[in-house]
């Protein structure tokens, strides 16, 4: 029951990265092939708050999954409201450490993640 987006790049054979924007987060896997660029993108809505012990918490609600082939998106599914009578898949990430270039987070399921920022010029 491991989130495939959380696996090391070597396991998936592609580049794994996360895009964080105000109100949105996306986990991406990118493969460069002889016939083009292929991406798998899991997206979520995100909101931030601070816990009582002053930890930055990102509340995450899974929004959808899509494949992007040579910049053309193909929506696999999109969640809106209730799914099969149950609430959307929700969770959170607590920032344990963040210096702007390195972030260590712990999810509500106990998984820990280490993110390294690559500046895009």
Say whether pLDDT at 114 is over 80.
Answer: yes
68-110 confidence digits (pLDDT tens): 888 888 877 665 544 444 555 678 889 899 898 888 989 888 8
- HSE-CB for 49 with a 13 A CA cutoff: 7
Structure-model confidence comparison of residues 85 and 9, the more confident one? 9
Distance (Å, rounded) from C-alpha 59 to C-alpha 46? Answer: 5
Strands annotated E in the chain: 15-21, 24-33, 36-50, 56-69, 72-78, 90-98, 102-107, 112-116
20-42 confidence digits (pLDDT tens): 788 888 888 888 888 888 888 88
Q: What is the pTM of this model?
A: 0.61
């Amino acid at each position: 029951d491991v989130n495939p987006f959380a696996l090391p790049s070597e396991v998936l054979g592609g580049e794994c990265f996360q895009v964080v924007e105000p109100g949105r987060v996306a986990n991406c896997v990118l493969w460069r092939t002889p016939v083009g660029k292929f991406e798998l993108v899991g997206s979520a809505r995100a909101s931030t708050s601070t816990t009582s012990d002053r930890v930055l918490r990102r509340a995450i609600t899974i929004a959808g999954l899509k494949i992007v082939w040579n910049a053309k998106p193909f929506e696999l599914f999109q969640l809106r409201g209730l799914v099969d009578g149950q609430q959307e898949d929700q969770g959170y990430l607590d920032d344990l450490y963040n210096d702007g270039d390195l972030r260590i987070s712990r999810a509500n399921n106990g998984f820990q993640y280490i993110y390294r920022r690559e500046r895009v010029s």
